[in-house]
Structure 1
Amino acid sequence: MRTGDELPELEIAITRTLIVAGAIASRDFQDVHHDAESARAKGSPDIFMNILTTNGLVGRYVTDCFGPAAVLRKLAIRLGAPNYPGDTMVLTGRIEDVDGDTAVVRVVGANGIGRHVSGTVTVSVPQQPPSPQPGGTP
Protein backbone atom coordinates (compact mmCIF):
# COMPACT_ATOMS: atom_id res chain seq x y z
CA MET A 1 0.00 0.00 0.00
CA ARG A 2 1.35 3.35 -1.10
CA THR A 3 0.14 6.94 -0.95
CA GLY A 4 -1.75 7.71 -4.15
CA ASP A 5 -2.84 4.12 -4.82
CA GLU A 6 -6.41 3.88 -6.12
CA LEU A 7 -8.73 1.23 -4.76
CA PRO A 8 -10.90 -0.69 -7.23
CA GLU A 9 -14.47 0.54 -7.68
CA LEU A 10 -17.31 -1.28 -5.97
CA GLU A 11 -20.82 -1.02 -7.43
CA ILE A 12 -23.66 -1.62 -4.99
CA ALA A 13 -27.23 -1.98 -6.22
CA ILE A 14 -29.49 0.05 -3.95
CA THR A 15 -32.49 -2.20 -3.51
CA ARG A 16 -35.52 -1.76 -1.32
CA THR A 17 -34.42 -4.91 0.52
CA LEU A 18 -30.93 -3.51 1.21
CA ILE A 19 -32.39 -0.27 2.57
CA VAL A 20 -34.96 -1.96 4.82
CA ALA A 21 -32.59 -4.74 5.98
CA GLY A 22 -29.88 -2.21 6.83
CA ALA A 23 -32.33 -0.15 8.87
CA ILE A 24 -33.60 -3.21 10.72
CA ALA A 25 -30.08 -4.55 11.36
CA SER A 26 -29.01 -1.22 12.82
CA ARG A 27 -32.26 -0.93 14.83
CA ASP A 28 -33.23 2.28 13.02
CA PHE A 29 -37.01 2.06 12.87
CA GLN A 30 -37.59 5.53 11.40
CA ASP A 31 -40.44 5.14 8.93
CA VAL A 32 -38.56 6.93 6.12
CA HIS A 33 -36.31 3.85 5.85
CA HIS A 34 -39.09 1.29 5.32
CA ASP A 35 -42.45 2.96 4.57
CA ALA A 36 -42.65 4.66 1.16
CA GLU A 37 -45.96 6.37 1.95
CA SER A 38 -44.57 7.90 5.15
CA ALA A 39 -41.38 8.93 3.35
CA ARG A 40 -43.45 10.71 0.67
CA ALA A 41 -45.57 12.42 3.33
CA LYS A 42 -42.33 13.82 4.77
CA GLY A 43 -41.17 15.17 1.39
CA SER A 44 -39.01 12.32 0.09
CA PRO A 45 -39.85 10.61 -3.21
CA ASP A 46 -39.27 7.17 -1.63
CA ILE A 47 -37.60 5.40 1.29
CA PHE A 48 -33.85 6.05 1.60
CA MET A 49 -30.78 4.43 3.13
CA ASN A 50 -29.81 5.29 6.70
CA ILE A 51 -26.34 6.48 7.73
CA LEU A 52 -25.52 3.30 9.65
CA THR A 53 -25.99 1.19 6.52
CA THR A 54 -23.77 3.61 4.61
CA ASN A 55 -21.15 3.34 7.40
CA GLY A 56 -21.22 -0.43 7.09
CA LEU A 57 -20.90 -0.37 3.29
CA VAL A 58 -17.94 2.03 3.44
CA GLY A 59 -16.26 -0.18 6.06
CA ARG A 60 -16.92 -3.29 3.98
CA TYR A 61 -15.46 -1.61 0.90
CA VAL A 62 -12.19 -0.77 2.66
CA THR A 63 -11.77 -4.10 4.44
CA ASP A 64 -12.57 -6.01 1.24
CA CYS A 65 -9.83 -4.03 -0.55
CA PHE A 66 -7.22 -4.57 2.19
CA GLY A 67 -8.04 -8.17 3.03
CA PRO A 68 -9.10 -10.21 6.06
CA ALA A 69 -6.34 -8.89 8.35
CA ALA A 70 -7.54 -5.28 7.91
CA VAL A 71 -8.74 -3.51 11.06
CA LEU A 72 -10.82 -0.33 10.83
CA ARG A 73 -9.42 2.27 13.23
CA LYS A 74 -11.53 5.32 12.35
CA LEU A 75 -14.36 6.09 9.98
CA ALA A 76 -15.43 9.71 9.41
CA ILE A 77 -18.07 10.26 6.74
CA ARG A 78 -20.48 12.93 5.57
CA LEU A 79 -23.72 12.18 3.74
CA GLY A 80 -24.97 14.01 0.67
CA ALA A 81 -27.52 12.84 -1.92
CA PRO A 82 -29.83 10.10 -0.60
CA ASN A 83 -29.58 6.49 -1.77
CA TYR A 84 -33.01 5.58 -3.15
CA PRO A 85 -34.17 2.15 -4.34
CA GLY A 86 -33.39 1.39 -7.97
CA ASP A 87 -30.14 3.36 -8.04
CA THR A 88 -26.54 2.16 -7.89
CA MET A 89 -23.86 3.54 -5.59
CA VAL A 90 -20.29 3.37 -6.84
CA LEU A 91 -17.63 3.47 -4.13
CA THR A 92 -14.12 4.63 -4.99
CA GLY A 93 -11.09 5.16 -2.80
CA ARG A 94 -7.58 6.58 -2.82
CA ILE A 95 -4.85 6.11 -0.22
CA GLU A 96 -3.98 9.56 1.11
CA ASP A 97 -1.35 8.66 3.71
CA VAL A 98 0.58 5.64 4.91
CA ASP A 99 2.36 5.34 8.25
CA GLY A 100 3.80 1.90 8.87
CA ASP A 101 0.95 -0.59 8.71
CA THR A 102 -1.76 2.11 8.84
CA ALA A 103 -3.32 3.96 5.92
CA VAL A 104 -5.81 6.80 5.58
CA VAL A 105 -8.15 6.23 2.66
CA ARG A 106 -10.37 8.90 1.11
CA VAL A 107 -13.66 7.27 0.09
CA VAL A 108 -16.42 8.64 -2.14
CA GLY A 109 -19.73 6.96 -2.94
CA ALA A 110 -21.74 8.41 -5.81
CA ASN A 111 -25.18 7.53 -7.14
CA GLY A 112 -27.33 8.76 -10.02
CA ILE A 113 -28.19 12.05 -8.34
CA GLY A 114 -24.80 12.95 -6.88
CA ARG A 115 -22.35 12.22 -4.11
CA HIS A 116 -24.00 10.08 -1.44
CA VAL A 117 -21.04 9.79 0.93
CA SER A 118 -17.53 11.15 1.30
CA GLY A 119 -14.97 10.86 4.04
CA THR A 120 -11.91 9.07 5.31
CA VAL A 121 -11.24 5.66 6.74
CA THR A 122 -8.16 4.83 8.79
CA VAL A 123 -7.25 1.17 8.43
CA SER A 124 -4.42 -0.95 9.83
CA VAL A 125 -3.12 -4.01 8.05
CA PRO A 126 -0.83 -5.91 10.44
CA GLN A 127 2.19 -7.47 8.79
CA GLN A 128 2.01 -11.24 8.64
CA PRO A 129 4.97 -13.10 10.15
CA PRO A 130 6.94 -15.06 7.56
CA SER A 131 5.83 -18.64 7.03
CA PRO A 132 8.17 -21.32 8.34
CA GLN A 133 10.48 -22.68 5.65
CA PRO A 134 10.22 -26.37 4.75
CA GLY A 135 12.61 -28.40 6.87
CA GLY A 136 13.05 -25.55 9.35
CA THR A 137 12.13 -25.54 12.99
CA PRO A 138 8.50 -24.77 13.84
Structure 2
Amino acid sequence: MNIGDEIPALEVRLTREKLVRYAGASLDFNPIHWNERFAREVGLPDIIAHGMLTMALAARLVTEWLGDPGLLLEYSARFTRPVVVPDGEDGAVVGFAGKVFKVHDDGTVLVNITATFDGQTVLGKAQALVRVPQP
Protein backbone atom coordinates (compact mmCIF):
# COMPACT_ATOMS: atom_id res chain seq x y z
CA MET A 1 0.00 0.00 0.00
CA ASN A 2 1.50 3.29 -1.13
CA ILE A 3 0.54 6.93 -0.93
CA GLY A 4 -1.35 7.85 -4.08
CA ASP A 5 -2.74 4.35 -4.71
CA GLU A 6 -6.30 4.59 -5.97
CA ILE A 7 -9.08 2.31 -4.82
CA PRO A 8 -11.74 1.05 -7.25
CA ALA A 9 -14.29 3.75 -8.05
CA LEU A 10 -18.00 3.39 -7.34
CA GLU A 11 -20.92 4.92 -9.20
CA VAL A 12 -24.42 4.91 -7.69
CA ARG A 13 -27.69 5.93 -9.31
CA LEU A 14 -30.08 7.53 -6.82
CA THR A 15 -33.76 7.62 -7.71
CA ARG A 16 -36.68 9.00 -5.80
CA GLU A 17 -37.73 5.44 -5.02
CA LYS A 18 -34.37 4.86 -3.32
CA LEU A 19 -34.84 8.06 -1.33
CA VAL A 20 -38.23 6.86 -0.09
CA ARG A 21 -36.72 3.50 0.89
CA TYR A 22 -33.86 5.24 2.71
CA ALA A 23 -36.33 7.54 4.49
CA GLY A 24 -38.20 4.50 5.75
CA ALA A 25 -35.02 2.79 6.95
CA SER A 26 -33.56 5.91 8.58
CA LEU A 27 -36.86 7.42 9.76
CA ASP A 28 -35.78 10.70 8.13
CA PHE A 29 -39.00 11.89 6.54
CA ASN A 30 -37.94 15.49 5.99
CA PRO A 31 -40.09 16.68 3.05
CA ILE A 32 -37.06 18.05 1.19
CA HIS A 33 -36.34 14.41 0.35
CA TRP A 34 -39.76 13.52 -1.10
CA ASN A 35 -41.94 16.61 -1.65
CA GLU A 36 -40.92 18.60 -4.72
CA ARG A 37 -43.19 21.56 -3.90
CA PHE A 38 -41.83 21.84 -0.37
CA ALA A 39 -38.22 21.53 -1.53
CA ARG A 40 -38.70 24.40 -3.97
CA GLU A 41 -40.50 26.52 -1.35
CA VAL A 42 -37.45 26.34 0.90
CA GLY A 43 -35.12 27.37 -1.93
CA LEU A 44 -33.88 24.06 -3.25
CA PRO A 45 -33.88 23.35 -6.98
CA ASP A 46 -35.76 20.07 -6.45
CA ILE A 47 -35.86 17.10 -4.11
CA ILE A 48 -32.43 16.30 -2.67
CA ALA A 49 -30.87 13.08 -1.43
CA HIS A 50 -30.32 12.59 2.28
CA GLY A 51 -26.84 13.78 3.21
CA MET A 52 -26.34 10.73 5.40
CA LEU A 53 -27.20 8.50 2.43
CA THR A 54 -24.52 10.18 0.34
CA MET A 55 -22.07 9.84 3.22
CA ALA A 56 -22.96 6.15 3.67
CA LEU A 57 -22.39 5.47 -0.03
CA ALA A 58 -18.94 7.04 0.23
CA ALA A 59 -18.19 4.68 3.12
CA ARG A 60 -19.41 1.81 0.94
CA LEU A 61 -16.66 2.69 -1.54
CA VAL A 62 -14.11 1.91 1.16
CA THR A 63 -15.79 -1.13 2.70
CA GLU A 64 -16.24 -2.80 -0.69
CA TRP A 65 -12.55 -2.25 -1.38
CA LEU A 66 -11.60 -3.68 2.02
CA GLY A 67 -14.03 -6.59 1.81
CA ASP A 68 -14.83 -6.22 5.52
CA PRO A 69 -16.74 -3.26 7.00
CA GLY A 70 -15.07 -3.98 10.36
CA LEU A 71 -11.79 -2.69 8.91
CA LEU A 72 -13.22 0.84 8.63
CA LEU A 73 -11.98 2.39 11.88
CA GLU A 74 -12.91 6.07 11.51
CA TYR A 75 -14.81 8.06 8.94
CA SER A 76 -15.77 11.70 8.56
CA ALA A 77 -17.07 14.06 5.90
CA ARG A 78 -18.71 17.45 5.47
CA PHE A 79 -21.70 18.15 3.28
CA THR A 80 -20.79 20.76 0.68
CA ARG A 81 -23.57 20.54 -1.95
CA PRO A 82 -26.83 18.68 -2.23
CA VAL A 83 -27.45 15.82 -4.64
CA VAL A 84 -30.53 16.89 -6.59
CA VAL A 85 -32.64 13.88 -7.61
CA PRO A 86 -34.95 14.64 -10.54
CA ASP A 87 -38.11 12.68 -11.14
CA GLY A 88 -37.71 9.73 -13.50
CA GLU A 89 -35.87 6.45 -13.79
CA ASP A 90 -32.53 8.13 -14.52
CA GLY A 91 -32.41 9.89 -11.16
CA ALA A 92 -29.00 11.24 -10.20
CA VAL A 93 -25.63 9.54 -10.59
CA VAL A 94 -23.09 10.08 -7.82
CA GLY A 95 -19.49 9.04 -8.36
CA PHE A 96 -17.09 8.05 -5.59
CA ALA A 97 -13.32 7.74 -5.77
CA GLY A 98 -10.64 7.15 -3.17
CA LYS A 99 -6.91 7.57 -2.90
CA VAL A 100 -4.44 6.55 -0.20
CA PHE A 101 -3.32 9.75 1.52
CA LYS A 102 -1.17 8.42 4.34
CA VAL A 103 0.22 5.08 5.51
CA HIS A 104 0.83 4.93 9.26
CA ASP A 105 3.48 2.87 11.04
CA ASP A 106 0.77 0.90 12.86
CA GLY A 107 -0.54 -0.48 9.56
CA THR A 108 -3.51 1.82 9.28
CA VAL A 109 -4.15 3.80 6.13
CA LEU A 110 -5.86 7.16 5.65
CA VAL A 111 -7.95 7.33 2.48
CA ASN A 112 -9.21 10.57 0.94
CA ILE A 113 -12.63 10.14 -0.65
CA THR A 114 -14.14 12.23 -3.42
CA ALA A 115 -17.89 12.26 -4.05
CA THR A 116 -19.16 14.08 -7.12
CA PHE A 117 -22.51 14.79 -8.68
CA ASP A 118 -23.09 16.73 -11.88
CA GLY A 119 -19.39 17.60 -12.06
CA GLN A 120 -19.23 19.07 -8.54
CA THR A 121 -17.98 17.78 -5.23
CA VAL A 122 -20.77 17.00 -2.77
CA LEU A 123 -18.68 15.92 0.24
CA GLY A 124 -15.76 17.84 1.63
CA LYS A 125 -12.84 16.54 3.66
CA ALA A 126 -14.15 13.00 3.38
CA GLN A 127 -11.59 10.67 4.92
CA ALA A 128 -11.54 7.11 6.18
CA LEU A 129 -9.01 5.54 8.49
CA VAL A 130 -8.80 1.83 7.71
CA ARG A 131 -6.84 -1.26 8.49
CA VAL A 132 -5.89 -2.94 5.23
CA PRO A 133 -5.94 -6.75 5.31
CA GLN A 134 -2.53 -8.31 4.95
CA PRO A 135 -2.03 -10.95 2.23
Contact 1:101-1:126 at 8 Å conserved across structures: no
Contact 1:7-1:94 at 8 Å conserved across structures: yes
Shift of 1:23: 2.7
Q: 1:41-80 to 2 correspondence within 5 Å?
A: 41-68=41-68, 70-80=70-80
**Where in structure 1 are there 5+ consecutive unaligned residues?**
129-138
Give the equivalent residue in structure 1 for 2:132.
125
Shift of 1:77: 0.4
Provide Cα deviations, 1:55-106, integer angstroms capped at 9, x if missing partner: 2111111010121265221111011221122221110110111224321100
Matched, 1:101 2:103: no
86-95 or 21-30, which deviates more = 21-30
CA distance in 2 between partners of 1:80 and 1:113 (Å) = 13
In structure 2, the CA distance between the partners of 1:10 and 1:96, relative to structure 1 (3 Å rule), is same
CA distance in 2 between partners of 1:84 and 1:17 (Å) = 14
Contact 2:51-2:82 at 8 Å conserved across structures: no
- How many aligned positions are there? 128
In structure 2, the CA distance between the partners of 1:42 and 1:69, relative to structure 1 (3 Å rule), is closer
How high is the TM-score relative to the length of structure 2?
A: 0.84
Give the equivalent residue in structure 1 for 2:18.
18
CA distance in 1 between partners of 2:103 and 2:78 (Å) = 22
Corresponding residue SS for 2:122: strand
Could you say which structure has the larger radius of gyration? 1
Corresponding residue SS for 1:82: coil
CA distance in 2 between partners of 1:2 and 1:23 (Å) = 38
How high is the TM-score relative to the length of structure 1?
A: 0.82
Shift of 1:20: 2.4
Give the equivalent residue in structure 1 for 2:97.
92
Shift of 1:52: 1.5
The amino acid that maps onto 2:108 is T
The amino acid that maps onto 2:129 is T
The amino acid that maps onto 2:112 is R
CA distance in 1 between partners of 2:97 and 2:122 (Å) = 12
**Where in structure 2 are there 5+ consecutive unaligned residues?**
86-90
- Cα RMSD after superposing both structures: 1.8
